[in-house]
Amino acid sequence: MTSHSTGITTPATLQFATALSRKTDTEAATRDLADAIAMQLGAAPIDLVFVFFSAHHAANASMISAMLQSELRAKVFLGCSGEGVIAGPEEIETAAAMTVLAACLPDVRLTPLQLSVSQLQDQIRMPGWPEPGLDDSTFLLFADPFSTPMQEVLSLMTDRYPHGKVVGGLVGGGQDSGENRLLLNDQVFDGGVVGVQLTGAITVRTVTSQGCRPIGERFVVTRAEQNLIYELGGVSALKRLQDVFESMGGTQRRNAHRALHLGIVIDEHGSHFERGDFLVRNLIGADQQAGAVAIGDVVQEGQTVQFHLRDAKSASDDLHVLLAANRTRHKSPPLGALLFSCCGRGEGLFDQPHHDSGAVQERLGPIPTAGFFAQGELGPVGGRNFLHGYTASVVIFSEPDSRT
């Protein structure tokens, strides 16, 4: 951007714009979105476009892709179907909706990514992905849950890009394999993963709100096998779980049978553990005879764990606290955001619409925001990348802090 009065060149700035259409006609909705974005960004060259749409539009994904690309001419174009659509302060959970977030990102390098899994050989193919490296970069990924072993993809990425942050979500809208849609540039996929790697003159901050609060004491796992925990601190794990139940009040106890989870400390070197230090996993069963509890992940002896409670208040508090902390930690103001919220949150959890999107706008300001309700959320916790459930994963874009 050049100032003609002095002839001094100032650093190019990042710009974001978003738009929402609730029209059920795909062609009309897409045209409205393209017009709204063009009006906001004017002649600025668009580098990156995201489009998220409800199942109502999935059959016309090729039309959405062709029209938006022809109108907006983005260097990288990404999109997917979702269980619902998030746009600005609004969450549209069941009605038809489509939203676009467009960004002008001068001096940012964008690498489009696509990954497929051969079901026959069980091989993960990553053509065109960056060479393995130690650079800090952000990977924004949208994955089809029916065709993608996401845990394996994440461990492969940890090996290849140990300093990379992975954020995004498992796409939705379809009830069966082949019904979801993923868009990358001029291609439409019904499986695998699409995404983009961002490096260069941009700060990408992440907030992964697992929506829980720790309850009771912390314990060291003293006997475990795979995802079964037999003993916590030398006592039967089931007995420890019953003690936590009994310590609760009546109303809390009634909700707890479906809201209790287990948090596993990620970095055992910490001296004290708080919000964000635990990876929260579902309790999926108990074995009365063995006194064991089963959780939705592999546990190892020597790990520190604590039971967690997930309810509307805990989930709301957690998101607000983490967003506020992120805002105070960085000098550069947020310019745009992506929000991937679990389809188990929304109105079903909070008894009110627009909870997560409202929290993002309240804490970060009325910035352009888009996203979708996901079947699983990707986001770092304690410096490592995980696949989560019941989580809100937020991506916040700003100028590099050193520039301000």
Least confident of 216-225, 240-249, 286-295, 330-339: 240-249
Is the pLDDT at 174 greater than 70? The verdict is yes
Q: What residue ranges define each of the domains in the chain, with the CATH number in brackets?
A: 15-209+316-403 (no CATH), 214-309 (2.40.30)
pLDDT above 50: residue 8:
no
pLDDT value of position 277? 82
Nearest to 17 by CA among 64, 80, 87, 107: 87
**pLDDT tier for residue 336 given thresholds of 50, 70 and 90:** very high
Q: With 60 as the cut, is the pLDDT of residue 159 above it? A: yes
SS3 sequence of the chain: CECCCCCCECCCCCEEEEEEECCCCHHHHHHHHHHHHHHHHCCCCCCEEEEEECHHHHHHHHHHHHHHHHHHCCCEEEEEECCCEEECCEEECCCCCEEEEEEECCCEEEEEEEEEEECCCCEEECCCCCCCCCCCEEEEEEECCCCCCHHHHHHHHHHHCCCEEEEEEECCCCCCCCCCCEEECCEEECCCEEEEEEEECCEEEEEEECCCEEEEEEEEEEEEECCEEEEECCEEHHHHHHHHHHCCCHHHHHHHHHHEEEEEECCCCCCCCCCCCEEEEEEEEEECCCCEEEECCCCCCCCEEEEEECCHHHHHHHHHHHHHHHHHHCCCCCCEEEEEEECCCHHHHHCCCCHHHHHHHHHHCCCCEEEEEECCEEEEECCEEEEECCCEEEEEEECCHHHC
Mean pLDDT, to the nearest integer, of 249-274? Answer: 77
Give the HSE-up count for residue 199: Cα atoms under 13 Å, Cβ half-sphere. 12
* Cα separation, 73 vs 123, whole angstroms: 34
User: Mean pLDDT over residues 230-254, rounded?
Assistant: 86
User: pLDDT category, 404, cuts 50, 70, 90?
Assistant: very low
Identify which has the larger pLDDT, 267 or 31: 31
pLDDT at 118: 80
- Does residue 257 or residue 71 have the better pLDDT? 71
For residues 105-113, average pLDDT: 96
pLDDT in tens, 393-403: 999 999 997 64
Instruction: Answer yes or no: is pLDDT of 189 > 50.
Output: yes
Distance, CA of 371 to CA of 354 (rounded, Å): 12
pLDDT of 282 reads 87
pLDDT at 6: 40
Give per-residue pLDDT as tens, 119-152.
Answer: 776 788 888 899 998 889 999 999 999 999 999 9
Q: Examine the pLDDT at 243 and tell me if it is beyond 50.
A: yes
Residues paired with 225 in a beta bridge: 228
Percentage with pLDDT > 90 across the chain: 75
User: Residue 12: its pLDDT value, please?
Assistant: 64
**pLDDT tens readout for residues 47-90:** 999 999 999 999 999 999 999 999 999 999 999 999 999 999 99
pLDDT classification of 9: cutoffs 50, 70, 90: very low
Q: What's the rounded mean pLDDT across residues 336-359?
A: 96
Predicted TM-score of the model (pTM): 0.91
Residue 155 has pLDDT above 80, yes or no: yes
